[in-house]
Protein backbone atom coordinates (compact mmCIF):
# COMPACT_ATOMS: atom_id res chain seq x y z
CA UNK A 1 0.00 0.00 0.00
CA UNK A 2 2.81 2.42 0.92
CA UNK A 3 4.57 1.62 -2.36
CA UNK A 4 1.40 2.38 -4.34
CA UNK A 5 0.99 5.71 -2.56
CA UNK A 6 4.63 6.57 -3.25
CA UNK A 7 4.27 5.64 -6.93
CA UNK A 8 1.15 7.79 -7.19
CA UNK A 9 2.90 10.75 -5.60
CA UNK A 10 5.90 10.28 -7.88
CA UNK A 11 3.61 10.14 -10.92
CA UNK A 12 1.80 13.32 -9.91
CA UNK A 13 5.12 15.05 -9.29
CA UNK A 14 6.38 14.03 -12.73
CA UNK A 15 3.10 15.04 -14.39
CA UNK A 16 3.26 18.46 -12.73
CA UNK A 17 6.86 18.90 -13.89
CA UNK A 18 5.97 17.99 -17.47
CA UNK A 19 2.98 20.33 -17.45
CA UNK A 20 5.11 23.18 -16.13
CA UNK A 21 7.57 22.59 -18.96
CA UNK A 22 4.71 22.78 -21.47
CA UNK A 23 3.34 25.94 -19.87
CA UNK A 24 6.79 27.55 -20.09
CA UNK A 25 6.99 26.57 -23.77
CA UNK A 26 3.54 28.01 -24.47
CA UNK A 27 4.52 31.28 -22.78
CA UNK A 28 7.67 31.48 -24.87
CA UNK A 29 5.54 31.00 -28.00
CA UNK A 30 3.34 33.99 -27.15
CA UNK A 31 0.31 32.29 -25.61
CA UNK A 32 -1.33 33.17 -22.32
CA UNK A 33 -1.38 29.65 -20.76
CA UNK A 34 -2.89 28.48 -17.46
CA UNK A 35 -2.78 25.03 -15.88
CA UNK A 36 -5.53 23.82 -13.53
CA UNK A 37 -6.27 20.45 -11.96
CA UNK A 38 -10.04 20.11 -12.47
CA UNK A 39 -12.83 21.19 -14.78
CA UNK A 40 -14.37 23.08 -11.86
CA UNK A 41 -11.21 25.16 -11.54
CA UNK A 42 -11.21 25.66 -15.31
CA UNK A 43 -14.80 26.92 -15.20
CA UNK A 44 -14.04 29.41 -12.44
CA UNK A 45 -10.96 30.68 -14.29
CA UNK A 46 -12.69 30.87 -17.68
CA UNK A 47 -15.45 33.07 -16.25
CA UNK A 48 -12.90 35.75 -15.34
CA UNK A 49 -12.16 36.33 -19.04
CA UNK A 50 -15.81 37.06 -19.89
CA UNK A 51 -16.48 40.72 -19.13
CA UNK A 52 -19.72 42.70 -19.11
CA UNK A 53 -20.64 44.09 -22.53
CA UNK A 54 -18.47 41.65 -24.47
CA UNK A 55 -19.44 40.14 -27.81
CA UNK A 56 -18.71 36.41 -27.53
CA UNK A 57 -18.28 33.91 -30.36
CA UNK A 58 -18.32 30.13 -30.13
CA UNK A 59 -16.42 27.33 -31.82
CA UNK A 60 -17.51 23.71 -31.74
CA UNK A 61 -16.30 22.15 -28.47
CA UNK A 62 -17.47 19.30 -26.29
CA UNK A 63 -14.96 20.42 -23.64
CA UNK A 64 -16.54 23.88 -23.28
CA UNK A 65 -19.83 22.15 -22.55
CA UNK A 66 -18.29 19.62 -20.18
CA UNK A 67 -16.86 22.26 -17.84
CA UNK A 68 -20.22 24.09 -17.74
CA UNK A 69 -19.04 27.16 -19.65
CA UNK A 70 -21.45 26.89 -22.60
CA UNK A 71 -24.49 26.85 -20.32
CA UNK A 72 -23.04 29.74 -18.30
CA UNK A 73 -22.57 31.86 -21.42
CA UNK A 74 -26.03 31.03 -22.75
CA UNK A 75 -27.58 32.33 -19.53
CA UNK A 76 -25.35 35.36 -19.00
CA UNK A 77 -27.46 38.47 -19.64
CA UNK A 78 -24.78 41.16 -19.76
CA UNK A 79 -22.98 39.86 -22.88
CA UNK A 80 -23.90 39.37 -26.52
CA UNK A 81 -23.48 35.67 -27.30
CA UNK A 82 -23.47 34.58 -30.94
CA UNK A 83 -24.83 31.14 -30.10
CA UNK A 84 -25.22 29.08 -33.27
CA UNK A 85 -26.27 26.12 -31.10
CA UNK A 86 -29.49 27.71 -29.88
CA UNK A 87 -32.39 25.36 -30.56
CA UNK A 88 -34.96 26.41 -33.13
CA UNK A 89 -32.92 28.91 -35.15
CA UNK A 90 -32.80 28.69 -38.93
CA UNK A 91 -29.72 27.61 -40.88
CA UNK A 92 -29.50 31.17 -42.18
CA UNK A 93 -29.40 32.51 -38.61
CA UNK A 94 -26.91 29.81 -37.64
CA UNK A 95 -24.54 30.93 -40.39
CA UNK A 96 -25.05 34.58 -39.49
CA UNK A 97 -24.06 33.92 -35.87
CA UNK A 98 -20.96 31.99 -36.92
CA UNK A 99 -19.89 34.98 -39.00
CA UNK A 100 -20.58 37.42 -36.19
CA UNK A 101 -18.45 35.26 -33.89
CA UNK A 102 -15.47 35.94 -36.14
CA UNK A 103 -15.53 39.64 -35.23
CA UNK A 104 -16.25 39.12 -31.53
CA UNK A 105 -14.31 40.40 -28.53
CA UNK A 106 -13.57 36.84 -27.44
CA UNK A 107 -14.04 33.50 -29.17
CA UNK A 108 -14.57 30.55 -26.82
CA UNK A 109 -13.67 27.11 -28.10
CA UNK A 110 -11.72 23.89 -27.68
CA UNK A 111 -9.01 22.39 -29.87
CA UNK A 112 -8.25 19.01 -31.42
CA UNK A 113 -4.56 18.77 -30.57
CA UNK A 114 -1.74 20.73 -28.93
CA UNK A 115 1.85 19.86 -29.73
CA UNK A 116 4.59 19.97 -27.13
CA UNK A 117 6.34 22.76 -29.02
CA UNK A 118 3.24 24.97 -29.01
CA UNK A 119 1.29 24.36 -32.21
CA UNK A 120 -2.53 24.11 -32.21
CA UNK A 121 -4.07 21.64 -34.66
CA UNK A 122 -7.74 21.83 -35.64
CA UNK A 123 -10.18 20.47 -38.23
CA UNK A 124 -13.61 21.89 -39.03
CA UNK A 125 -16.65 21.27 -41.12
CA UNK A 126 -17.89 24.83 -41.64
CA UNK A 127 -14.53 26.47 -40.90
CA UNK A 128 -15.47 29.17 -38.38
CA UNK A 129 -13.24 27.74 -35.66
CA UNK A 130 -10.13 27.27 -37.80
CA UNK A 131 -10.67 30.76 -39.23
CA UNK A 132 -10.97 32.34 -35.77
CA UNK A 133 -7.57 31.04 -34.70
CA UNK A 134 -5.98 32.63 -37.75
CA UNK A 135 -7.60 36.07 -37.69
CA UNK A 136 -10.73 37.90 -36.54
CA UNK A 137 -11.74 37.77 -32.88
CA UNK A 138 -9.77 40.04 -30.58
CA UNK A 139 -9.07 37.14 -28.23
CA UNK A 140 -9.35 33.35 -28.26
CA UNK A 141 -10.15 31.38 -25.09
CA UNK A 142 -9.28 27.72 -25.64
CA UNK A 143 -10.33 25.10 -23.08
CA UNK A 144 -8.07 22.04 -23.36
CA UNK A 145 -7.91 18.64 -21.62
CA UNK A 146 -4.52 16.93 -21.25
CA UNK A 147 -5.67 14.22 -23.67
CA UNK A 148 -5.20 16.77 -26.47
CA UNK A 149 -1.43 16.99 -25.92
CA UNK A 150 0.61 15.29 -28.67
CA UNK A 151 4.28 15.05 -29.52
CA UNK A 152 4.33 16.83 -32.90
CA UNK A 153 2.30 17.99 -35.90
CA UNK A 154 2.16 14.54 -37.45
CA UNK A 155 0.66 13.14 -34.26
CA UNK A 156 -1.68 16.13 -34.11
CA UNK A 157 -3.21 15.49 -37.52
CA UNK A 158 -3.33 11.77 -36.77
CA UNK A 159 -5.28 12.52 -33.61
CA UNK A 160 -7.68 14.72 -35.58
CA UNK A 161 -8.54 11.98 -38.06
CA UNK A 162 -8.36 8.88 -35.87
CA UNK A 163 -9.79 10.21 -32.61
CA UNK A 164 -11.51 13.61 -32.73
CA UNK A 165 -13.27 13.32 -36.08
CA UNK A 166 -14.43 9.74 -35.50
CA UNK A 167 -15.89 10.50 -32.07
CA UNK A 168 -17.57 13.67 -33.28
CA UNK A 169 -19.15 11.88 -36.23
CA UNK A 170 -20.52 9.24 -33.87
CA UNK A 171 -21.82 11.90 -31.46
CA UNK A 172 -23.52 13.98 -34.15
CA UNK A 173 -25.08 11.01 -35.92
CA UNK A 174 -26.48 9.69 -32.64
CA UNK A 175 -27.96 13.13 -32.00
CA UNK A 176 -29.54 13.13 -35.47
CA UNK A 177 -31.13 9.73 -34.83
CA UNK A 178 -32.51 10.95 -31.51
CA UNK A 179 -34.12 13.86 -33.35
CA UNK A 180 -35.64 11.52 -35.94
CA UNK A 181 -33.26 12.56 -38.70
CA UNK A 182 -31.08 10.49 -41.00
CA UNK A 183 -27.37 10.30 -40.04
CA UNK A 184 -25.35 12.38 -42.47
CA UNK A 185 -22.01 13.18 -40.85
CA UNK A 186 -18.82 11.67 -42.26
CA UNK A 187 -15.19 12.66 -42.63
CA UNK A 188 -15.99 14.70 -45.75
CA UNK A 189 -18.43 16.91 -43.86
CA UNK A 190 -16.84 17.19 -40.43
CA UNK A 191 -13.12 17.39 -41.23
CA UNK A 192 -12.54 19.14 -44.52
CA UNK A 193 -10.80 22.33 -43.35
CA UNK A 194 -7.54 22.03 -41.42
CA UNK A 195 -5.15 24.43 -39.70
CA UNK A 196 -2.15 24.40 -37.49
CA UNK A 197 -1.30 27.70 -35.87
CA UNK A 198 1.22 29.18 -33.50
CA UNK A 199 0.61 32.38 -31.54
CA UNK A 200 1.54 35.41 -33.67
CA UNK A 201 0.16 38.14 -31.39
CA UNK A 202 1.27 37.95 -27.75
CA UNK A 203 -1.48 36.82 -25.35
CA UNK A 204 -4.22 36.86 -28.02
CA UNK A 205 -4.74 33.13 -27.47
CA UNK A 206 -5.41 32.10 -23.88
CA UNK A 207 -5.16 28.38 -23.16
CA UNK A 208 -6.65 26.83 -20.04
CA UNK A 209 -5.04 23.41 -19.80
CA UNK A 210 -6.92 21.01 -17.51
CA UNK A 211 -5.35 17.99 -15.83
CA UNK A 212 -8.28 15.80 -16.93
CA UNK A 213 -9.25 14.00 -20.12
CA UNK A 214 -12.05 16.06 -21.66
CA UNK A 215 -13.69 16.38 -25.05
CA UNK A 216 -12.56 14.68 -28.22
pLDDT tens across 155-171, in order?
Answer: 999 999 999 888 877 76
Please give the helix or strand (H or E) that residue 114 lies within, else none: strand 113-115
**pTM, whole model, 2 decimals?**
0.88
Q: Give the tens place of pLDDT for each residue, 24-54.
A: 999 999 999 999 999 999 999 999 999 999 9
* All domains in the chain, ordered by first residue: 2-210 (3.40.50.10420)
**pLDDT for position 8:** 61
C-beta of residue 63 within 8 angstroms of C-beta of residue 146: no
Q: Give the tens place of pLDDT for each residue, 187-199.
A: 666 778 899 999 9
**pLDDT for position 176:** 46
Mean pLDDT of the 204-215 span: 96
Distance CA(111)–CA(122), nearest Å, equals 6
Distance CA(164)–CA(76), nearest Å, equals 29
C-beta of residue 74 within 8 angstroms of C-beta of residue 50: no
Where does the chain have alpha helices with state H? 2-29, 39-47, 62-66, 69-74, 91-101, 128-134, 153-159, 165-178, 187-190
Please give the helix or strand (H or E) that residue 195 lies within, else none: strand 193-197
Amino acid sequence: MENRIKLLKDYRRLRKKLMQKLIDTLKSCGYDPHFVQTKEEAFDLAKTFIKEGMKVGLGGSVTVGEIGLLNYLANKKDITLYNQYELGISMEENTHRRRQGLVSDIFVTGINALTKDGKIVNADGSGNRVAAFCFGPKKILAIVGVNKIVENLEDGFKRVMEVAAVKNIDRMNKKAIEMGKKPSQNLNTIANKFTWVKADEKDRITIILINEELGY
